[in-house]
């Protein structure tokens, strides 16, 4: 089941974030990315949140800031299911373009985005921090809705 994230969900979202990302967001960052300008969704299986997406909308554009799937549930299509629902809801809101950045090394995520029609737009050099204190490029992608 896919539904809008509620404030009471953030402890679980933070746990998923910590487990799913190399350099995870802080709980404060998660909490700061909500409100009227956001379409944030969660995917629930057996009454447990297993994935979430954080997406900001501004006028007729949206930016997917974060998508995470609990590692035990990765590779089962939940990320794609969540992304497709997000895209449909954005279309229904009149959004024309969905943007995102993804780590250059995250080939699985890039494959997911390619599979739903995203196009690579550019590279942002040294955009993401790495666990070792270095920097990694981001691939900027867009989906025209």
pLDDT band at 5 (very low <50, low <70, confident <90, very high): very high
pLDDT score, position 76: 94
pLDDT single digits (tens) 10-20: 999 999 999 99
- Indicate the pTM of the whole model: 0.93
Q: What are the backbone angles phi and psi of residue 115, rounded to the nearest 5°?
A: -65, -20
For residue 101, indicate whether it is catalytic: yes
The counts of H helices and E strands in the chain are 4, 7
What mean pLDDT is predicted for residues 37-58?
96
Catalytic entry in 17, 70, 101, 128:
101
Domains of the chain, with CATH numbers?
2-144 (3.40.630.30)
Three-class SS of 119-138: EEEEEEEEEEECCCCCEEEE
pLDDT score, position 23: 85
Catalytic entry in 17, 70, 113, 128:
113
């Amino acid at each position: 089941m896919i539904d809008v994230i509620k404030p009471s969900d953030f402890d679980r979202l933070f746990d998923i974030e910590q487990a799913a990302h190399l350099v995870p967001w802080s709980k404060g960052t998660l909490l700061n990315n909500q409100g009227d300008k956001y379409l944030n969704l969660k995917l629930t299986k057996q009454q447990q949140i297993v994935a979430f997406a954080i997406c900001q909308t501004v006028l007729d554009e949206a930016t997917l800031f974060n998508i995470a799937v609990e590692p035990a549930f990765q590779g089962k299509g939940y990320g794609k299911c969540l992304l497709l629902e997000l895209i449909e809801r954005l279309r229904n809101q009149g959004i024309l373009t969905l943007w995102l950045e993804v780590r250059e090394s995250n080939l699985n995520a890039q494959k997911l985005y390619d599979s739903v029609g995203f196009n690579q737009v550019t590279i942002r050099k040294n955009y993401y921090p790495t666990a070792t204190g270095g920097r990694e490029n981001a691939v900027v992608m867009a989906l025209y809705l």
